[in-house]
Structure 1
């Protein structure tokens, strides 16, 4: 055999070997796919012809402490477009049917073009039934257009609660990027308040119904008769600590005013009512919020979107005198019998005026009469750093951690602050104003409410909170959430003494005697916070019944004058609504006597 013939035979052998090897590989691969891994590929093949239809769960509802429904779900219709099947020439038709500006539908589609064309886009929520009827009648001419029944928020009890509840709105692109494992374009999420803070509890678990589709993705039937379907699970129903009746009363009393009201159950830290006024209508946020409404909200000089209860910072005025008294008594720098002479004011570098000439007064009567002179001098006995130490104990100069999110920390000055501001020889006369809650001291109404609740309950309570727990869907039992316990470790005797003074503010010859009533005793303290930009702010803190407090309140009314005149009567009506609930319900409206402020009461 020649060399050429041998080479030819060699090449043929190699070629045959390659062919046999390739055939063997294909045979083995086909065996793997059809015999060994056939189940996996069956599932993948089925996946190409199965369309999951997302089932949005019902959002959890809100109950008040008496299990009245405050926030509910109301059925509403939503128009959707699935871009894969939609004819964009219908844009103008839908714009006209929806009654929106030309280009609205096109804009919605453009915003969502980054997502899969097979994902339905929510175009308009809360459409009228007349539009639904039109969609039904013309469905064969509207490829890719459909509607679904979804839920919007409703408020059946008549409580506004705009700064409590918050609202839901369509998820933003930024949020979607962070939480795309759960949310899809067009989903609604909690915004502000409880809706935001408890979003994961409220949203529930999505379900999926699987349908068979043809090559054009048209539905042709249920997949395995629904055996693989997963039903959605409703979100948790939250039980709030709010008393709906008390909340209603406060909202009515604050209508037309600027300010904030907070009520707390002293022993638990549960918020019974929280109102920031002015409020805004949450119904406007249930689905499509009009541009005009939003512009009106944002441009309103009274700032209704601003939560004054948790964010507004003001001097606490004379309500802060109680803190100085507790600190001095707990430290032992004064006793109940210690007296300070008031001749109408106090001189330290300059003259600091008192609103009376009270003579020699002890701490109890200094609280009763709201004697400035006593507290001007008391802060020098305490010392500035100790003063701040006790303020921190009560939770000032820091956020309370309330479960509705946004809040301000406030500010309490100390020596370090003044040294930075003025140098080592800072003017000590500044301290006098701090003793009566003026100067650089700034607090929120919520902080004051926590403060008076701790006074009422001898320095023990829990972190202020609005949600008590959730209802177990199976048993109907309330599953409580846990909140941090607070114990100030301050001597009970100090609280007993200041509470005697607060009792006399109302029941003695103090600045809120017009709150006396035959049904229960109120203890309190009025205050007037100076305002360089207009009328002073009126404040009142108090609790009732004095002997066994179950409600502690703070009322702040802006730009009206004295606390005893403008804030204290609102507190009384709130306490009546809580403590005399059954009695007031059985009375005719003409039998309910209004609280008359009478002559203006200073401080």
Structure 2
């Protein structure tokens, strides 16, 4: 009996021993997961962040470059401070902030690094680097922030900032980690995948106290970061700087386009802010200050603000009426002010005179002919049919929908259709007398300054446009720009209809915008006054020049500046002269615009 029990015990010991030996064999020979875990405890993975691509203007002038900065990282398990006051003074951090950062790091991971102090400048790093050895668990990670040599084009360029949770959730490629930086607006956001580059990694051995013991496996697993691609933008920095100078102290927008290509030469959102404010360690403080500013400098007016197009829309009405054969250059109407208010000018007028004098009653009557074509004997149905046909024609001019510019957060504007009025008044309960304000670009119509500049390009091109864009080449290759920016869009109006319109627009300056006239350069333009229910109306002007061979199309909005022939026309004229001549020969007009007193 005892012998049997002894044998059983021996057998059990042998079996347990075999199991342990098998497990040990699995751990040491076959399954290397424990080895990898052990290595991770002794190996630090340091991300090698790439330099973002640079951004140049159309003439190869540098707009955006990189400045190296340093993030002070902490590993909570190894971090220890003997004298907190001394540490805070040395590293220029408040005691409460230090506690919060350390608490957040511990919550994230006890053994993985977290940022303790971000974006330390070169100067500050030189001051503290010799003291880092005194604080176990601290090491420095090199990054870069954006810098702007001329501090221009902030609304077009955008800015980078730390990634937010919703952006992390959308990162299907799992490129980003919490704490990484990403483009938040402008070109920085739209072309993020080109600008960001590819991360690298370095692995180093550390002992139990976190002391660096050299590279892991002689650097065999290290990978180098790959810098982002450089972008050449379409912006003309000299023109951009001049436009920002003219718009200083004002609110509004300037958008200038090269008509034959759709390249945006200048995009100004006033008031302008210095893009350097949103780069570096002061980002958070400066961002809050800009966001809370009542003048809304972060609001990208050229693509986000929406206004009634006003009298400028009369050019679109003229072209659609000509194309449909509803009106001809000889169609004549009296300036009947009982229909709609108008300023004093000769009457009656033909189409040329209507454009030149911006005659409101003319378009009231012409628009009625376009909308009510007696397709239906029912007035309400006839108006609904006509309006929807008109709506379709207007949309071809790039209105009522996003143009597709290479910037985020573009607004679409609004061109009303029968659905809108059915919703407001009820189906079959509205007619022409309800919607006649559309005839002169008022009422429910809304456009962005970018769309207005694109209209000027359409007029210049006699019936087509390329989607406005800010990219000229990627890494020196112009063939890499997206196809949608090289596709021609036809607006459905025959080119010959534009000839008389061009002549009338050039002549209109002598009636409504004398200040815009430039000696030896023929400008074709149109003033407008966008109604503003909250105060003084907005001054609007669109133009292209030279009329014979257009090189620039422009739209200017100056908020609360009244009549378009003053602030907007003067600003646009100076921008045109600067672009075509490279200098200004009308200092008095320049002083007038800079002063900003547009009372006369």
Band of TM-score, shorter chain = 0.7 to 0.9
Secondary structure of 1:267 counterpart:
coil
Q: 1:455 aligned to 2:459? A: yes
> What residue in structure 2 maps to residue 468 of structure 1?
472
CA apart distance, 1:57: 0.6
Give matches, 1:26-175, under 5 Å.
37=30, 46-87=39-80, 91-127=84-120, 131-156=124-149, 158-175=150-167
Give matches, 1:373-412, under 5 Å.
373-383=361-371, 384-412=387-415
Structure 1 stretch 252-261 or stretch 292-301: which is displaced more?
A: 292-301
> What residue in structure 2 maps to residue 445 of structure 1?
449
Give distance in 2, aligned partners of 1:469 and 1:573.
Answer: 28
Give matches, 1:469-548, under 5 Å.
469-471=473-475, 479-483=480-484, 485=487, 486-506=489-509, 509-548=510-549
Distance of aligned partners of 1:441 and 1:89 in 2 relative to their CA distance in 1, 3 Å threshold:
farther
CA apart distance, 1:189: 1.6
Distance of aligned partners of 1:338 and 1:298 in 2 relative to their CA distance in 1, 3 Å threshold:
same
CA apart distance, 1:319: 0.6
CA apart distance, 1:237: 1.0
Structure 1 stretch 557-566 or stretch 352-361: which is displaced more?
A: 352-361
Q: 1:320 aligned to 2:313? A: yes
CA apart distance, 1:33: 6.1
Structure 1 stretch 314-323 or stretch 166-175: which is displaced more?
A: 166-175
Give distance in 1, aligned partners of 2:124 and 2:44.
Answer: 27
Give distance in 1, aligned partners of 2:501 and 2:151.
Answer: 36
Q: 1:218 aligned to 2:207? A: no
CA apart distance, 1:76: 2.9
Deviations, residues 188-235 of structure 1 (Å, cap 9, x unaligned): 221111112222221111111121223444320122332332110001
Distance of aligned partners of 1:111 and 1:487 in 2 relative to their CA distance in 1, 3 Å threshold:
farther
**Considering only aligned residues, what root-mean-square deviation do their CA atoms show, in Å?**
3.1
Secondary structure of 2:106 counterpart:
coil
Give distance in 1, aligned partners of 2:228 and 2:84.
Answer: 36
Contact preservation (8 Å) 1:356, 1:371? no
Give matches, 1:270-419, under 5 Å.
270-289=263-282, 293-343=286-336, 345-347=337-339, 352-383=340-371, 384-419=387-422
Secondary structure of 1:205 counterpart:
coil
Contact preservation (8 Å) 1:333, 1:382? yes
Structure 1 stretch 436-445 or stretch 80-89: which is displaced more?
A: 80-89
CA apart distance, 1:513: 3.6
CA apart distance, 1:256: 0.5
Contact preservation (8 Å) 2:345, 2:357? no
Contact preservation (8 Å) 2:68, 2:121? no
Distance of aligned partners of 1:135 and 1:306 in 2 relative to their CA distance in 1, 3 Å threshold:
same
CA apart distance, 1:177: 5.1
Give distance in 2, aligned partners of 1:590 and 1:398.
Answer: 39
CA apart distance, 1:536: 1.2
> What residue in structure 2 maps to residue 559 of structure 1?
560
Structure 1 unmatched runs, 5+: none
1:247 to 240, 246, 254: 240
Distance of aligned partners of 1:595 and 1:432 in 2 relative to their CA distance in 1, 3 Å threshold:
farther
Secondary structure of 2:202 counterpart:
strand
Structure 2 unmatched runs, 5+: 372-386
Distance of aligned partners of 1:129 and 1:440 in 2 relative to their CA distance in 1, 3 Å threshold:
closer
Give distance in 2, aligned partners of 1:429 and 1:480.
Answer: 47
Q: How many residues align?
A: 578
Give distance in 2, aligned partners of 1:357 and 1:181.
Answer: 65
Give distance in 1, aligned partners of 2:98 and 2:165.
Answer: 18
Distance of aligned partners of 1:223 and 1:419 in 2 relative to their CA distance in 1, 3 Å threshold:
closer
Contact preservation (8 Å) 1:264, 1:450? yes
CA apart distance, 1:55: 0.6
Distance of aligned partners of 1:288 and 1:20 in 2 relative to their CA distance in 1, 3 Å threshold:
same
Give distance in 2, aligned partners of 1:231 and 1:580.
Answer: 47
Give distance in 2, aligned partners of 1:293 and 1:232.
Answer: 30
Contact preservation (8 Å) 2:205, 2:212? yes
> What residue in structure 1 maps to residue 380 of structure 2?
none
Secondary structure of 2:316 counterpart:
helix
Give distance in 2, aligned partners of 1:382 and 1:183.
Answer: 55
Q: Provide the TM-score with structure 2 as the length reference.
A: 0.87
> What residue in structure 2 maps to residue 435 of structure 1?
439
Give distance in 1, aligned partners of 2:444 and 2:32.
Answer: 74
Deviations, residues 461-498 of structure 1 (Å, cap 9, x unaligned): 222221223115xxx77743322522223222233332
Contact preservation (8 Å) 1:358, 1:371? no
Give distance in 1, aligned partners of 2:287 and 2:204.
Answer: 41
Deviations, residues 115-174 of structure 1 (Å, cap 9, x unaligned): 233443333344355643442343342222343443221111x14222111111122344
Secondary structure of 1:138 counterpart:
helix
Distance of aligned partners of 1:269 and 1:34 in 2 relative to their CA distance in 1, 3 Å threshold:
same
